Amino acid sequence: MSVASQDTAVKTGSIAKVFIYLILVLFALFYLLPLYVMLTNSLKPLSEITGGDMMSLPKAWTIEAWLSAWSTAQVGVSPTGLRPYFINSILMVVPAVAISTVLGALNGYILTKWRFRGDTLLFGLMLFACFIPFQIVLIPMARILGILGIAGSTQGLVLVHVVYGIGFSTLYFRNYYASFPTELVRAAMIDGAGFFRIFWRIMLPVSGPIAVVTIIWQFTNIWNDFLFGASFAGLSAMPMTVALNNLVNSSTGVREYNVHFAGAIMAALPTLLVYIVAGRFFVRGLMAGSVKG
Amino acid sequence: MPIRTTRADLRTRLQDFIPKIVLAPSLAAILIFVYGFIVFTGYLSMTDSKMLPSFDFVGLDNYVRLFSLPAWNTALINLVIFAALYIAICTVIGLGLAILLDQKIRGEGVLRPIYLYPMALSFIVTGTAWKWFLDPGLGLENTMHLWGWTDFQFNWIKDRHMAIYTLVIAAVWQTSGFVMAMFLAGLRGIDNEILKAAQIDGASNFALYRRIVIPLLRPAFLSAFVILFHMAIKSYDLVIALTGGGPGRATELPATFMYSYTFTRNSMGIGAASAVIMLMTVAAIMIPYLYSELGAKKE
Amino acid sequence: MGFLDISHVSKAYGSVQVLHEVDISVEEGEFIVLVGPSGCGKSTLMNMIAGLEPITTGDISIRGRLMNGVHPSKRNIAMVFQSYALYPNMTVAQNMTFGLEMHGVPKAERDRLLADVARLLQIDHLLERKPGHLSGGQRQRVAMGRALVRNPDVFLFDEPLSNLDAKLRVDMRTEIKKLHQKLGTTIVYVTHDQIEALTLSTRIAVMNKGYIQQLGTPKEIYDTPANLFVATFMGSPAMNILPATIKVRDGVAFAEIADAQGRLQSLQFSQKNLASWDGKEILLGIRPEAITDIDGADRKSQNIQRFSNVVTVIEPAGSDTFVTMTVSGRDVVARMRADASVAARDRFEFAVNMDKAVVFDPKTEARIPG
């Protein structure tokens, strides 16, 4: 995204300016509200929450709820806390992101620098795959995972996320490489470099920014996925989002809202962290997701 | 003059081949896992599959039954209400915030990330907060009562006529910042000289935006619409986290309908048919859009 | 058989034929320029020489070795690209030696070749920099350096100067010419700039719409253009083309043309073989510098004709003054000495050097040989 590189030529009066700031700040509060509610209430004891004021800061600060959410809370049937599921998510996300990014880079390189008849159509097919409602693949996917013997496993989820992540990672790399001069590839060909050598020596060294965008995008999407996790994970490979949902919706016993909030923030933490550290790239990924590169 | 095709040496022929070999796995994956599966689901939608896939062909029976199901019709009506409000409100808020942020605002660097961060979070996460916030006994209503406004009522989430609007609120909260970013990028892409020329022509700020800027944002409007539309149809986590489809079936959307009919109600044929309808709806918007986007890039 | 032979080469994309039966035979040490407007097929032809695009039909051979289907890196060619195509992630030294490295040349040898070429091009001090930190002219030198270290049979230049500003372009043009004279390498050079073509080349191939219009030395191209396209494309300002009627009196041909007021005047041809065109319409081609004031006329010319006309516009351009008038309904430009005393709207006596005039058949647009 172009960040304030161009000033607008529009001028506004000072009273109008005050109103503008007021509105902008109000919206900022609106966006921050849920995070604030989660954070403050995760640090209260349960007694302070039920019947208490959701907006107030804790009177008695405690990290009890966090500890419980991490290691002892009831998720589904077992009192394991969210820790095993957090690990599940990591085990799923890392390979899925790595594989889909590498494939996307190679695909983007081929689709821009080794063009062939029908490549645009092919890319169109990949691109459309990004936007399908995944309900259309749930039934056959469940069967295929069963046939491959990886139903309910982390490998199964990795496969699913790689397959449905290729479209986006290809899109990113393709659009990025499209503006990379083809003459460079030709020069390298004349210099005697082959397909992989050109990729390795010429393309990859300049792919840093788009690789970051792609990795962040894939990471966020796969970490946040719920539908595939809920459909294919089973108990042992259940990712964080599904576990959180189970924690929050478990009907047994007292509803420990503070634990729910602590768990929710845990589930949000990795993506939130990525957003805070590299928000610029996240936004760029979002924008590229609207197809225009 | 004899026409003969030129022979390539081994290396050149190999170099011609390698890209296709490298592309093949991705292509195969997409063809099988996307298009093959679409065909498979399409076929299942014409069979009498219940709990397990069956291959007894029943034609369009499932579609006929689907559209006679009250639950499906509720889901469709809900989708129309939800999508229309969601797209409209996101666009208005997004455009408004973008225009305001574009007025040489100090602190833009702080505000922009705040508007956008909800996109980085899963709805399962923020749903816990929203659910609580919307719960009359715990959230906003309760807080207002505690603050002394005892007549205050906000129990939409428990009200079967109003619950669908709580989905809109939460969904708008999540996505409007992203729409803002799209419009902001569009605004920043407008040539400043055009704006200066319009001001020299005597256009007021209002006229400037209405007559010059907003028409120039057409591509951003189109992209925003397409993205929001497909997100609306795919909305699933949102419902699960916020209302679970309830109260009753009041907030059932096609995505949740498909899931429950297929996996919990053992009507796979019906579920498949509903998935096909969803796909066709998305395709009706996405295919022309992608076609024009890719077509425009061809020389 | 030449050093680089292009024979009967055609190129088609699907049903679209972009090159038709091109034949060029290049001798060793020649500097061939392919020139033409965009879309004329010159870059396609160059890419086929480089092996970057397959040949549809025909043969290309270098040093008698058939190159059809041979990988670009195995043709012993080097190419300088319009955008220079320097690898942004590598230093200048790495850029220049990348090709040698790919061809398995040992490090010591690479360093020696690099040092030689860097000295030749005076880029020794840039070797450790990245291309992003170089000026346009420096990048251009590096790109040439990268081609030179390979010591190829044929150098290919693809519009190498078009990304430079006007001043630098002229400097680099001289530089390239010097380099060619010094090294005597064989060069194929693509450009759309006719001045580059005329100044640099030993021979020019003028191309249009996928056909070679004329292949010849700069002088042949300039003085005896094969057809109207070549005549108007080469030279700036362009050759004046005006309709004229041929009148033959006592075996001598004259061109009858009308001045601005419609009065007919005759110019005697130097050409001897126009008798058969008596009474017919032709197109008369006269370069601007062949129309002058009387004192400025070329002394060596055997046939200076006088022509009186009203001056429309005067454009002083420093070294020359361009004078525009209307002849036979067309604008005609004359190129005068800077101090010629001409005034707009006055009637003026022009000297036309008919030795330099060319005649075109209006139907075929081909030059009628004199």
Each domain of chain A, given as residue ranges in start order, spans: 83-289
| CB-based contacts of A226, cutoff 8 Å, min separation 6 | A241, A242, A245, B122, B123, B124, B236, B237, B240
In a shared domain, residues C116 and C180 = yes
* CB spacing of B12 vs C51 below 8 angstroms: yes
Residue C330, beta-bridge partner list: C327
Q: So what's the pLDDT on residue A89?
A: 93
Chain-chain contact of C78 with A190 (C-beta, under 8 angstroms): yes
Confidence of residue B299 (pLDDT cuts 50, 70, 90): very low
The shortest CB-CB distance from A31 to any of B15, B118, B226 is to B118
User: Which domain range does residue C107 map to?
Assistant: 4-233
Coil/strand/helix, residue B290: helix
Do the domain assignments include residue C366? no
What is residue A1's predicted lDDT score, i.e. its pLDDT? Answer: 37
Q: Which of residues 235-254 of A touch B (CB under 8 A)?
A: 241-242, 244-245, 248-249
Q: Could you tell me if C69 and C111 lie in one domain? A: yes
Mean pLDDT of C5-25: 93
pLDDT over threshold 80, residue C41: yes
Q: Per mean pLDDT, which of B58-62, B151-155, B264-268, C33-37 is the most reliable?
A: C33-37
Among the partner residues A189, A192, A202, nearest to C87 by beta-carbon distance: A202
Tokens of C183: 């090294």
Residue (of B129, B97, B103) closest to B116 by Cα position: B97
- pLDDT category at A251 given cuts 50, 70, 90 is low
Q: Does the residue C162 lie in any domain? A: yes
Residue B11, pLDDT above cutoff 70? no
Say whether both C185 and C249 belong to one domain. Answer: no
Pair (C195, C69) in one structural domain: yes
Domain closes at, from C233, C256, C277: C233
Distance from C85 to chain A by nearest Cα, in Å? 5
Whether residue C78 lies inside any domain: the answer is: yes
Looking at residue B2, what is its pLDDT?
36
Least confident of A2-6, B284-288, C60-64, C76-80: A2-6
pLDDT at position C36, please? 94
Listed range (B83-87, B292-296, C350-354) with the worst mean pLDDT: B292-296
Are C91 and C208 within one domain?
A: yes
Q: Enter the tokens of residue C301.
A: 């010319």
- In angstroms, the Cα distances linking C123 to C91, C120, C129 are 12, 8, 11
Last residue within a domain, chosen from C233, C262, C292: C233
Does C368 map to a domain? no
Is pLDDT at A202 greater than 80 in this prediction?
yes
Q: Is the pLDDT of residue A230 over 80?
A: yes
Preceding peptide of C237 cis, ω within 30°: yes
For the cut 50, the answer to whether the pLDDT of residue B298 exceeds it is no
A12: pLDDT confidence band, cut at 50, 70 and 90?
low
In a domain, C23, yes or no: yes
Contact C99 A189 (CB under 8 A): no
Residue C85 shares a structural domain with residue C166: yes
More confident residue, C67 or B103: C67
Of the three residues C233, C249, C276, the one that is the final residue of a domain is C233
Residue B147 near chain A (CB below 8 Å): yes
Q: What is the pLDDT of residue C362?
A: 93
How is residue B293 written in tokens? 């986007």
Q: Residue A2 pLDDT > 50, yes or no?
A: no
Shortest alpha-carbon distance between residue C104 and chain A (Å): 10
Regarding whether C189 and C50 lie in a shared domain, the answer is yes
Instruction: Quote the pLDDT of residue C355.
Output: 92
**B/C interface, count of CB pairs below 8 Å:** 30
Which amino acid, residue C274? Answer: L
Question: Would you call C87 and A188 a contact, using CB atoms and an 8 Å cutoff?
Answer: yes
What burial class does residue C136 get, using C-beta atoms within 10 Å of its C-beta: 0-12 exposed, 13-18 middle, 19+ buried? Answer: middle
- Chain C residues within an 8 Å CB radius of A179: none
Residue C332 in this model has a pLDDT that exceeds 50: yes
In terms of domains, do C215 and C79 share one?
yes
In chain A, the N- to C-terminal Cα span, in Å, equals 11
Amino acid A51: pLDDT: 67
Q: Residue B292 has what pLDDT?
A: 83
Residue of A nearest to B172 (CA): A31
Secondary structure letter of residue A192 according to DSSP:
T
**Average pLDDT of A13-39?**
88
Exposure of C242 in the CB half-sphere (CA atoms within 13 A): 24
- Tally of domains within chain C: 2
**pLDDT for residue A293:** 34
Q: Is the pLDDT of residue C341 over 90?
A: no
- Say which range, B208-217, C89-98, C163-172, has the weakest mean pLDDT: B208-217
Residues C342, C262 within the same domain = yes
Band of pLDDT at residue C20, cut at 50, 70 and 90: very high
Q: What three-state secondary structure class fits C284?
A: strand
pLDDT band at B110 (very low <50, low <70, confident <90, very high): confident
Evaluate the CA torsion angle C330, C335, C338, C342 in order and state its sign: negative
Q: Outline where chain A has alpha helix (H).
A: 14-42, 46-49, 64-67, 83-113, 119-131, 135-148, 154-178, 182-191, 195-198, 208-224, 227-232, 240-249, 257-289
Instruction: Residue B25: list chain A partners with CB under 8 A.
Output: 103
pLDDT confidence bin for A253, thresholds 50/70/90: low
Q: For A83-289, which CATH class?
A: mainly alpha
Q: Check C73 against A186: CB less than 8 A apart.
A: no
Question: Measured between CB atoms, which of A181, A190, A201 is closest to C83?
Answer: A181
Whole-number average pLDDT of chain A: 84
> Burial letters for C307-322: b for 16+ Cβ neighbours within 10 Å, e otherwise?
bebebeebeeeeebbe
Inter-chain contact B132–A125, Cβ cutoff 8 Å? Answer: no
Q: Are residues C164 and C71 in the same domain?
A: yes
Confidence tier at B196 by pLDDT (50, 70, 90) = confident
Q: At B28, which helix (H) or strand (E)?
A: helix B10-30
Q: What is the pLDDT of residues B67-81, one digit of tens each?
A: 988 889 999 999 999
Whether residue C98 and residue A193 make contact (CB cut-off 8 A), yes or no, is yes
Percent of chain A with pLDDT over 90: 29
Residue C306 dihedral angles phi and psi, to the nearest 5°: -100, 150
User: Least CA distance to A6: which residue of chain B?
Assistant: B188
Q: Which domains does chain B have, with CATH numbers?
A: 62-297 (1.10.3720.10)
Q: Which residue of C has its CA nearest to B15?
A: C71
Nearest to B124 among A128, A140, A226 (CB): A226
- Residues of A (17-56) whose Cβ lies below 8 Å from B: 17, 20-21, 23-25, 27-28, 30-35, 37-38, 41, 49-55
ipTM: 0.85
Return the minimum-mean-pLDDT range out of A76-90, C30-44, C310-324.
A76-90
Q: Give the model's pLDDT for residue B1.
A: 34
Q: Which residues contact C10 (CB under 8 A, 6 or more apart)?
A: C17, C19, C20, C21, C22, C55, C56, C57, C58
Q: Between the ranges A67-76, A82-91, B130-139, where is the mean pLDDT highest? A: A82-91
Task: Report whether pLDDT(A5) > 50.
Answer: no
Arithmetic mean of pLDDT, C46-64:
92
DSSP labels, B139-198:
SHHHHHHHTT-TT----GGG-TTTHHHHHHHHHHHHHHHHHHHHHHHHHHTS-HHHHHHH
* pLDDT value of position C4: 94
* Res C112: pLDDT: 95
Mean pLDDT, residues A170-196: 89
Residue among C21, C56, C71 whose CB faces B11 most closely: C71
Spatial contact of B241 and A142, defined as CB atoms under 8 Å apart: no
Phi, psi (degrees; rounded to nearest 5) at B8:
-105, 150
Residue A289's pLDDT is what? Answer: 58
The DSSP code sequence of C167-209 is: HHHHHHHHHHHHHHHHH--EEEEEES-HHHHHHH-SEEEEEET
pLDDT at B197 over 70: yes
Nearest to C55 among B6, B11, B15 (CB): B6
The DSSP H or E segment spanning C369 is none
Q: Tell me, what CATH number does C117's domain have? A: 3.40.50.300
Average pLDDT over residues A39-44: 86
Asked if the model's pLDDT at residue B120 lies above 90, the reply is no
Considering the domain architecture, whether residues C282 and C208 belong to the same structural domain is answered as no
